[in-house]
Structure 1
């Protein structure tokens, strides 16, 4: 079968031929219908040797939807819960593999992250517990839900208690995750949603996703956002970029006792010091994916019509073009690879 493989650190992935996996006891073979591309894939590709516990070569792709190809559930359409933990600890037992107690001992973080992933025609899943049914939801919509949707959902869930009536949430970075975070905020909270990006087209995407207001990242953006938040600042800021500029903006915008959710892996630094410039009483969270039960809730939102992923579709044979577009910031919403 064809698969998009990372052969070594610092090298662009290549499309090649590999053997179709054969499931053993407890494993499930999934015929892939769609696989999403993520900036995390770029972080993996560009990682220095030794920075991650993975060992190339392996197939990329941690956002995967398809059809069960073997066993009693053959034909069922599913999305794959991507973080694969040890399977034995108390957290894995309840579907919280993303927070596996033994994660530091494993040589992987999940599907396509040290283990062969879904940018291929078939995917071998170690256990049926990693599968969530999607019914008639299209694979192109379902695949990005497993990370872009799930990570955004978990990020919002962690601060939902602070987002009642007359509150403000700021979403920084309206890309594959950010545009879903805007929709999730609108669907599950009463908060006013403000969006920030460096691209006009991203602000247009935020508006289509339901943001009340959007603004470009400029020197006066903090002032503009604080004014839009009633002059007191935001109750929660969700940063899907995570570089020095956006982390600094988040701190400037947050009101005392506010919630900062740092999702993006842009290398930004936050200095914690008392006394210092951080808002008094603020809380910081660092979500990593989300649980399998939460993925079921995300799928239910999508099937209800409350959540829609804007996608750009590429055949598997054009994976290199898709990665190039992603690197250049030219992808609208989420890029999705489709076998064929």
Structure 2
């Protein structure tokens, strides 16, 4: 089969021919319908050799959807041809976190060598994908896998972050979304559907701000040195009830910390390397700072339910497997509108 693999530290990924995998006991093989392109992949491929821990070669793609193509011994009640999405943050399946569906919080996955597809295990940027357990599959039913595959991360991650701040996002509150790309433009829709908050979007150019307004932001302002002051101006000087930073770079983290209100939340979702200084006299009283990671299996089901009710959608650009390296180039250049999706089987 053909797959997009990261083969050499510091070099772009390439499409290569590799053996088609066979499912072992308890495993499922998917014929991949769609795979999402994510900034996390870029982060992984930007790491220097001494910090890289994901294995070489690495088949990319941690957002995956496909049809059940073959099953290993012991897999029951799963029909061939069923359209499914892959829940990505795999855990041990036995601990308290995994028992409640929060495999994103499994404390044993790393020591057991369990890695998500595309982030250590072979990913979905291939014609076929092996999934380790049926519990990591979510039936899509009548949902279009191409249009909805990115919800497995670009929907699940913001939903997980928003849910923890929802008790504060009542009528009259304000939510700030920093970065309106793959995750941010989905977060705006979720905030509008689930909360009573005024939504203020921040990004670096007018094209991205236009997308933010298109998907529901009440206000859209440039993410620059004046952004925090602008947020406070729009909130009567109080600041934002919750700030969701989907970039996570030092300048955006600084904006987030300067924009949050007393008793507010800062959710540092992006992995751009920024950190925030916190403490008495440094941050507003009773402000909370979190670094959320992906989400739970039940939350993914809820995200797909939102999609079925037309409460959220993902703006996508589609690419063939041969065009996948170009998709990463466009992502790096900030040229992707919403999310790029690769179609490994056409």
Q: TM-score under structure 2 normalisation?
A: 0.95
Distance 1:57 1:315 in 2: 21
Cα distance in 1 between the residues matched to 2:227 and 2:48 = 35
Q: CA deviation at 1:108?
A: 4.9
- The aligned counterpart of 1:55 is 55
Structure 1 stretches of 4+ moved >3 Å:
106-109
Q: Is the 8 A contact 2:318 2:343 kept in 1?
A: yes
Q: Distance in 1 between matches of 2:297 and 2:100?
A: 8
Q: Where does structure 1 lack aligned partners over 5 or more consecutive residues? A: none
> What's the RMSD between the two structures over aligned residues?
1.2
**Secondary structure in 1 aligned to 2:19?**
coil
- Aligned match of 2:293: 288
Measured after TM superposition, the shift of residue 52 of structure 1 is: 4.3
Shift of 1:270: 1.1
Partner of 1:199: 205
Kindly state the Cα deviation for residue 218 of structure 1 after the two structures are TM-superposed.
2.8
* Counterpart Cα distance in 1 of 2:291 and 2:4: 29
Residues 148 and 313 in structure 2, CA contact (< 8 A), matched pair in contact too: no
Number of the residue aligned with 2:339: 334
- Rounded to whole Å, the distance in 2 between the matches of 1:194 and 1:257 is 18
* Alignment correspondent of 2:83: 77
- Pair 1:258-2:264 in alignment: yes
Tell me, which stretches of 5 or more residues in structure 2 are unaligned?
72-77
1:95 is displaced (CA, Å) by 2.0
1:325 counterpart residue number? 330
Displacement of 1:68: 1.0
1:47-87 alpha-carbon deviations (Å, 9 max, x no partner): 12242432211210000011111244211111100111122
Q: How does 1:126-145 map to 2 (within 5 A)?
A: 126-145=132-151
Q: 2:321 aligns with which of 316, 321, 340?
A: 316
Residues matched between the structures, number: 339
Local SS of the residue matching 1:332: coil
Q: What residue number does 1:298 align with?
A: 303
- Mapped contact 1:103–1:109 kept (Cα < 8 A): yes
Q: Structure 1 residues 250-259 or 212-221, which shifts more?
A: 212-221
| Greater Cα offset, 177-186 or 48-57 | 48-57
Matched-pair contact (CA < 8 Å) for 2:91–2:108: yes
For 1:182-221, what aligned pairs fall within 5 Å after superposition? 182-221=188-227
Q: CA deviation at 1:89?
A: 1.7
